[in-house]
Amino acid sequence: MRSLLIVLAVLVTTLVIILTPANAAVAHDEPEIDAYVTSSVVPAGQTYPLQVVVVNTAKHEWAERGSVEEELLFNASLTAYNVTLWLEGDEGIDVKTDRVRIPVLPSASFQPGYASRTVTFLISVSPDAVGKHTLKLHVSYERARIIDVTGNISGIYDVVYYYIKEEKVIPIEVEVCQSSKPILKAFPVKSRMYTNEVSQLVLQIANEGNGVARNVEVKLSGDLDVLDPKTAYAATIPPSTSVPVSFSVKSDKETCSVRVEMSYEYFDGLKWVRGVDEDTVQLFFEPSSAAITISWGDNEVVRGQKGLLDLYIMNSLSYPVSALVIQLEEPDGVDLKINSILVGFLNPGEVRAVKIPFEVDDEAKFGYRTINVSGTFRQAIYPSVESLHTSIPVYIKPEPDFEIVSDQVVYAGEDNQIVEVRIVNNGGDAKDIHALLKPSPGILVKVPDAFIESLKSGESKTLKFKVDVDEDVIPGTKYRVMVELTSEDLNGDEQKETEYFYVRVEEKGGHEYVLVLILALVLAAIAVYKKKRKKI
């Protein structure tokens, strides 16, 4: 029956994928659920709260980005939803707790502080169950498989998520023990460390046994240099507790395997004896270039904008840097007036603010642009020169950009003349457009207001206005008409713009003489034509 359900689920998922629109994004990455116990030693003959840490260790391995669907799926594909856990015992261990549920379990790569949950299962241990046992932790969860976005991505749009259910079984090993003996484990406290820098490594030494450890000595060995101290000490570590110890370390590798040797004294029931536990931890060091972080203040600009961009440069290292030089490579549509920045000396934790003059082209394409950043620096305590490479996004906001097109002739001293004005939108989509005409003296617009419901980018619409022209205006002269345009972009933000067009004033009645002349020429041509026909 279970196999039939699995086959049915696969068929349904395949059908959903087939029927999904072509522009939908499909997740290739998925959550990675793992679990371990906080203490693997449990006492025999007792009802014991077994604490299990469930963690999502997933990271992106194959992620496509660019479209709205891919960006949303990039953030959601590694998250596990509706996680259900239940523990299966064996002959010597009976599990009393039913199912445990976790609504959302994000990945450590996105939310390190929320990627793990500690759940407790109440187990009943038989008095004669001494030894190692393997319990089965059943895990079921849902993950985002497909995301489809419909609607206008510049305004209101709908997002549809398609989920798929996954199941797995994780072995949980415990040891039922009668003797009172400590079991020490080492856990590195997550902190940011950089290559070629003296970093502070903090280890939590946890006692997972049921005996007290005293006079604890901790030593490190492996792929890193331990500078100080060579041996760390802890006076006592009771069961189910932990104490921190710290070392100053340095590594030129990004991944290090470190062996932790922990020696201690414990009471075996008759006397204090010496014991030794060993553990291996993996340490990760980021390149030192990542310690120089560069970011913008407000990275949203508009076409034609001129001003200053605030560039923030921070030193996250524990030591100063010197000879810091930053190079900026401007993207299409954005003109950076300064491309090279000499920062010089930067203390640890210091943030330096630099103002960069910029100008956005009037015809720049809307959307995100990338400013590529490179540079070099020298750590104060090391002679080597380090390089850095990063990028900064700049967003060109799609605001409306109107143009007025009109080539109109009006006549002095005449009323109720029609003036046609074409409004062209060369920018982003606009709605609720209000055009208010303010002509030069001598030209009266009877109804100066006109409205357009919406104009998409590249669209135009012609407005008509009825005007009276004073007889005192000067014929043969062009008069300027100001147009105040108020509109809203698709985000509802109000935009104001002022444009101008010109009308040419001709002498009153001049156009009538032209019409009479044309009519006379037509009549003369007809008369000549008839005369020729009579001769024939």
What domains, with CATH codes, occur in the chain?
Answer: 1-178 (2.60.40.10), 288-396 (2.60.40.10), 402-511 (2.60.40.10)
Q: Which residue in this structure is represented by tokens 């920062």? A: 343
Whether 318 and 196 have beta carbons less than 8 Å apart is answered as: no
- Hey, which residues does 355 pair with through a beta bridge? 310
DSSP annotation of 394: E
Residue 88 confidence class, pLDDT cut points 50, 70, 90: very high
Its sign, for the CA torsion 149, 152, 153, 158, is: negative
CB of 294 within 8 A of CB of 370? no
Integer CA distances (angstroms), 213 to 54, 447, 508, in order: 27, 92, 110
Mean pLDDT of all residues belonging to the chain: 82
Sequence-distant (6+) residues with CB within 8 A of 105 are: 31, 33, 54, 56, 79, 80, 81, 83, 115, 117, 141
SS3 of 215-270: EEEEEEEECCEEEECCEEEEEEECCCCEEEEEEEEECCCCEEEEEEEEEEEEECCC
144, 161 contact by CB (below 8 A) = yes
Q: Which two tokens stand for residue 318?
A: 């524990």
User: Which tens digits make up the pLDDT trace of 132-175?
Assistant: 999 999 999 999 888 887 776 666 777 788 889 999 999 999 99
Q: Is pLDDT at 318 greater than 80 in this prediction?
A: no
For residue 193, the SS3 value is coil
pLDDT in the model for residue 456: 86
Give CA separation, 376 vs 294, 316, 345, 381, in Å: 13, 15, 12, 16
- The mean pLDDT value for 501-515 works out to 70
pLDDT, tens only, 256-303:
889 999 999 987 655 688 999 999 988 888 776 667 888 887 778 888
Q: Over range 363-383, report the average pLDDT.
A: 81
Per residue in 374-428, pLDDT (tens digit) is 888 887 666 677 788 888 888 888 878 888 888 888 888 888 888 888 888 887 7
Q: How confident is the model at residue 83 (pLDDT cuts 50, 70, 90)?
A: very high
Q: How far apart are CA 81 and CA 73, in angstroms?
A: 14
CA distance 421 to 405: 6
Give residue-wise pLDDT tens across range 40-78.
888 777 788 999 999 998 887 766 666 767 777 777 888
Residue 441: φ, ψ to 5°: -60, 140
CA distances (Å), origin 5, targets 2, 11, 12, 53, 315: 5, 10, 10, 29, 55
Q: What angle do CA 232, 238, 239 make, to 5 degrees?
A: 120
Which residue did the predictor score with more confidence, 39 or 518? 39
